[in-house]
């Protein structure tokens, strides 16, 4: 077969301060940089879904027809310009024809300036050209906000099953197998979909621990009797009516699909209380980390989850830095603060210099402000590195001019390009050896666990100021379905509005 392949990934936090421009997708911001045409095929060995799909297609003797692959770090809306240029490239190539099937590597939680359901709109434009008979399969992120339109328009959607996302390429391979089964079946599968009636905090979705680990184990057991099952806990910061967790599945007959999806739905709803997440204040996290690190042989790690650039934060709030300084933390490191001006000031001054600057705090986050003080420049680099952790192993990374600035007992990795800390090399490129620190503060929610848990004494989750509310009940929802509960066991949006009236 000739299979048209393309990728367009963005996780949209509609409450975040910074939008995703076309330049964001060119840079990648933690994803592979934008690729066109045959350059897309170079992703075959990268742990992204399209990599797994390309490997399968080439091994089977099929001809992948690559169009574009573009991804950018989570942020506020994708600009209309970026959406139309990237989606337009895909649609224009679809219009040209000359292929037998389509595979799209999408995220599932994209909101553009002019569109609530970015993926559903893209699928609609594609279907409008190729018609209903063309096999079309899609891989999705675990954090997809799966819409009815997406399920209706794709022959099959399949989502990651790990968070941290170590199975991205594997999910592309699952999409490939679904495409093969769809073609062998000769017609669309029977499908089922159930939406969970409450939002799940991002930190509660980690598949290394319960209850998510058990949920996916149950899914894999039930999948033996159907074609495919998926669970997307959702991305609880996209303010539109279909935001939230969804189960869906495919089978050769409708009863089997309904049975499997209903069983998963009932199990999760019956265990709703288990999906709640406890959080620490910045001071509580600092005190616990200092106490736990005194006799520890490994660093204590604090997840600065609300400023995670992987969910829309700008990675520049200073709440955890201030807490560490207040409690006189020693051998602590924070990474990565996105502050291009500070990084360039350090490079101008040179290693060993002391510079007085206002660091970070540039996104007008309530409760946050730049940290003014004198910092010692301990290390400088060009910010180029390689990912050696499980998620994007082997891929090159780029942080731009990067520095290690020290204030008191705290070292701070400062970059010129925004990126979530999900690989230890983001510290090393700033001259910080993470294993030698007593305390590490990571601008991340869960992804860091893939590479950092093996070196961690303990992991704490702090609720410091940031753009991404760790508790979705804290967000000023306007367009969410009013019947949706804003946290496990929490009130519905309608009830919240009534109590505030």
For residues 298 and 438, is the Cβ–Cβ distance under 8 A? no
The number of folded domains in the chain is 2
12 Cβ partners below 8 Å, 6+ apart? 20, 74, 75, 76, 77, 78, 109, 110, 111, 112, 118, 235, 238, 312
Is 453 a member of any domain?
A: yes
Is 501 a member of any domain?
A: no
Indicate if 271 and 286 belong to the same structural domain: no
Three-state DSSP at 317 gives: coil
72 Cβ partners below 8 Å, 6+ apart? 9, 10, 20, 24, 25, 27, 28, 29, 31, 78
Is 14 a member of any domain?
A: yes
Could you read off the pLDDT tens digit of each residue along the chain, which spans 501 residues? 999 999 999 999 999 888 999 999 999 988 999 999 999 999 999 999 999 999 999 999 999 999 999 999 999 999 999 999 999 999 999 999 999 999 999 999 999 999 999 999 999 999 999 999 999 999 999 999 999 999 999 999 999 999 999 999 999 999 999 999 999 999 999 999 999 999 999 999 999 999 999 999 999 999 999 999 999 999 999 999 999 999 999 999 999 999 999 999 999 999 999 999 889 999 999 999 999 999 999 999 999 999 999 888 999 999 999 999 999 999 999 999 999 999 999 999 999 999 999 999 998 899 999 999 999 999 999 999 999 999 988 889 999 999 999 999 999 999 999 999 999 999 999 999 999 999 999 999 999 999 999 999 999 999 999 988 899 999 999 999 999 999 999 999 999 999 987
CA distance 157 to 178: 9
340 Cβ partners below 8 Å, 6+ apart? 400, 401, 415, 416
Buried-exposed string 144-174: b where 16+ CB fall within 10 A, e elsewhere: bbbbeebbebbbbbbbbbbbbbbbbbbbbbb
Indicate if 241 and 92 belong to the same structural domain: yes
- The runs of H, that is alpha helices, within 186-281 are 212-222, 254-270
405 Cβ partners below 8 Å, 6+ apart? 342, 346, 355, 359, 375, 376, 377, 378, 411, 412, 414
Is 291 a member of any domain?
A: yes
Is the peptide bond between 213 and the residue preceding it cis, with omega within 30 degrees of 0?
no
65 forms beta bridges with: 4
Neighbours of 455 (CB within 10 A): 15
Indicate if 34 and 119 belong to the same structural domain: yes
Indicate if 331 and 420 belong to the same structural domain: yes
Three-state DSSP at 136 gives: strand
Residue 71's domain is classified under what CATH number? 3.40.50.2300
Is 72 a member of any domain?
A: yes
499 Cβ partners below 8 Å, 6+ apart? 491
Indicate if 183 and 91 belong to the same structural domain: yes
Q: Could you give phi then psi for residue 79, rounded to 5 degrees?
A: -65, 150
Indicate if 266 and 360 belong to the same structural domain: no
Indicate if 233 and 117 belong to the same structural domain: yes
- Counting Cβ atoms within 10 Å, is residue 39 exposed (0-12), middle (13-18) or buried (19+)? middle
Indicate if 243 and 328 belong to the same structural domain: no
Domain that holds residue 450: 282-470
Q: What HEC string does 412-476 produce? A: EEEECCCCCCCCCHHHHCCCCCHHHCCEEEECCCCCCHHHHHHHCCEEEEECCCCCCCCCHHHCC
Indicate if 42 and 76 belong to the same structural domain: yes
């Amino acid at each position: 077969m000739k299979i048209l392949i393309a990728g367009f990934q963005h996780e949209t936090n509609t409450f975040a301060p910074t939008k995703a421009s076309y330049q964001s997708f060119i840079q990648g911001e933690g994803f592979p940089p934008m690729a066109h045409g045959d350059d897309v095929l170079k992703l075959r060995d990268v742990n992204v879904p399209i990599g797994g799909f390309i490997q399968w297609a080439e091994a089977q003797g099929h001809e992948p027809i690559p169009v574009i692959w573009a991804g950018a770090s989570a942020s506020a809306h994708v600009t209309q310009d970026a959406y139309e240029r990237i989606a337009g490239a895909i649609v224009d190539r679809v219009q040209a024809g000359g292929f037998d099937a389509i595979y799209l590597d999408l995220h599932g939680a994209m909101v553009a300036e002019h569109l609530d359901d970015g993926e559903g709109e893209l699928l609609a434009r594609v279907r409008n050209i190729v018609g209903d008979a063309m096999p079309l399969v899609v891989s999705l992120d675990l954090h997809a906000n799966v819409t009815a339109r997406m399920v209706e328009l794709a022959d099959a959607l399949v989502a990651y099953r790990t968070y941290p996302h170590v199975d991205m390429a594997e999910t592309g391979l699952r999409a490939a197998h679904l495409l093969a089964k769809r073609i062998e079946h000769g017609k669309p599968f029977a499908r089922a979909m159930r939406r969970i009636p409450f939002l799940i905090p991002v930190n509660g979705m980690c598949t290394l621990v319960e209850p998510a680990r058990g949920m996916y184990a149950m899914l894999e057991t039930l999948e033996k009797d159907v074609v495919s099952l998926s669970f997307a806990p959702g991305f609880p910061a996209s303010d539109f009516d279909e935001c939230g967790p969804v189960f869906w599945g495919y089978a050769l007959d409708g009863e089997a699909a309904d049975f499997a999806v209903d069983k998963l739905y009932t199990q999760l709803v019956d265990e709703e209380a288990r999906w709640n997440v406890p959080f620490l204040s910045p001071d509580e996290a600092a005190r616990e980390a200092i106490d736990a690190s005194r006799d520890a042989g490994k660093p204590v790690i604090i997840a600065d989850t609300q400023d995670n650039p992987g969910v829309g934060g700008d990675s520049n709030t200073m709440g955890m830095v201030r807490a560490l300084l207040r409690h006189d933390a020693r051998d602590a490191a924070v990474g990565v603060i996105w502050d291009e001006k500070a990084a360039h000031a350090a490079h101008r001054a040179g290693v060993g210099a002391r510079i007085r600057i206002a660091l970070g705090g540039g996104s007008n986050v309530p409760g946050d402000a730049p940290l003014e003080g004198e910092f010692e420049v301990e290390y400088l680099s060009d910010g180029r590195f390689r990912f050696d952790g499980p998620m994007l192993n082997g891929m090159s990374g780029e942080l731009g001019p990067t520095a290690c600035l020290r204030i008191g007992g705290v070292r701070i990795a400062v970059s010129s390009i925004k990126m979530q800390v999900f690989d230890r090399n983001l510290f090393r490129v700033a001259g910080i050896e993470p294993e030698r620190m007593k305390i590490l503060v990571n601008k991340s929610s869960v992804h860091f666990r893939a590479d950092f848990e093996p070196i961690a004494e303990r992991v704490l989750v702090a609720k410091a100021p940031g753009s991404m509310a760790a508790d979705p009940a804290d967000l000023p929802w306007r367009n969410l379905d009013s019947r949706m509960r804003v946290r496990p066991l929490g009130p519905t949006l309608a009830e919240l509005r009534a109590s505030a009236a």
